[in-house]
Amino acid sequence: MPERKTVAIHQPNFFPWLGTFHKIAMVDEFIFFDHVQAPRGKSWVSRNKILLSGKAGWLTIPIRKSGKGYQRISDVCINYGTNFERKHLGTIKQAYQKSAHFKEVYAMIESIYANKYERLADFNKEYIQLVSARVGLKASFQSSTEMVNKNSRLAGLTGNEVVLKLCMQATANRYISGVGCLEFIEPLSFEEEGIEFYFQRFVHREYRQVNTASFVSHLSSLDALFNVGFDGLRSLISGKQTERAV
């Protein structure tokens, strides 16, 4: 009989916030939701906020759009024609060079940019998996694109149905969901398939930040890493804060 496990599903976001790692810390398997259509316009897949001169400012990774039309998240390509890597690294260095953990975190970030990933999802996954490993999280990772390629019956599914079927294919007996899907998710349908459904309840804690008089919350996890390091981030995402939906 296949092993049963706790699963979470979320798109691979760019330098995601602490809540993403809190969710990863609570599961056995994390599925990157990347076979679905990429959000149109600005989204967390390609941008996030860091602390710039005491205020939240955007860091955006450029993507290729011209003539692409509909694209899956897994197919979105990074636009290297703008030479953005040097600008990004310079902005990050300026923002955090006085932080307590600058040297080790900056070296990791610099190595990710140096890989020059063609696809944005690969860049984002590399960061998420590297941080998870350094923090000591035990979850395994797979992508919904790979799961759909193995099981074509998943390809045409949307909304609640695709999330449910991905959990079933992953042999989940517990699913942890964010609250951003309340308009389509149906917790009872999971329970009927023997999958306990929980909502994540993450409380964002404050920590010491460099170059600001008052705490700025809900930034990219980069901010926490530079300020409190990998051990500090582990502490910030500790605690299984969930609520049974049914």
Instruction: Report the SS3 class of residue 32.
Output: strand
Question: Dihedral through CA 62, CA 65, CA 66, CA 72, nearest 10?
Answer: 150
In the predicted model, what is the mean pLDDT of residues 203-213?
A: 94
What is the predicted pLDDT for the residue at 152? 87
Question: Residues near 164 by Cβ (< 8 Å), separated by ≥ 6?
Answer: 189, 190, 193, 195
Instruction: Report the SS3 class of residue 239.
Output: coil
Residue pair 159/184 in contact (Cβ under 8 Å)? The answer is yes
What is the predicted pLDDT for the residue at 66? 60
Question: Residues near 103 by Cβ (< 8 Å), separated by ≥ 6?
Answer: none
In the chain, what's the furthest Cα-to-Cα distance? 55
In the predicted model, what is the mean pLDDT of residues 216-240?
A: 96
Question: Residues near 119 by Cβ (< 8 Å), separated by ≥ 6?
Answer: 74, 75, 76, 77, 78
**Domain residue spans of the chain:** 5-244
What is the predicted pLDDT for the residue at 67? 58
33 pLDDT more than 70:
yes
Question: 147-204 pLDDT, tens per residue?
Answer: 999 998 888 888 999 999 999 999 999 999 988 777 789 999 999 999 999 999 999 9
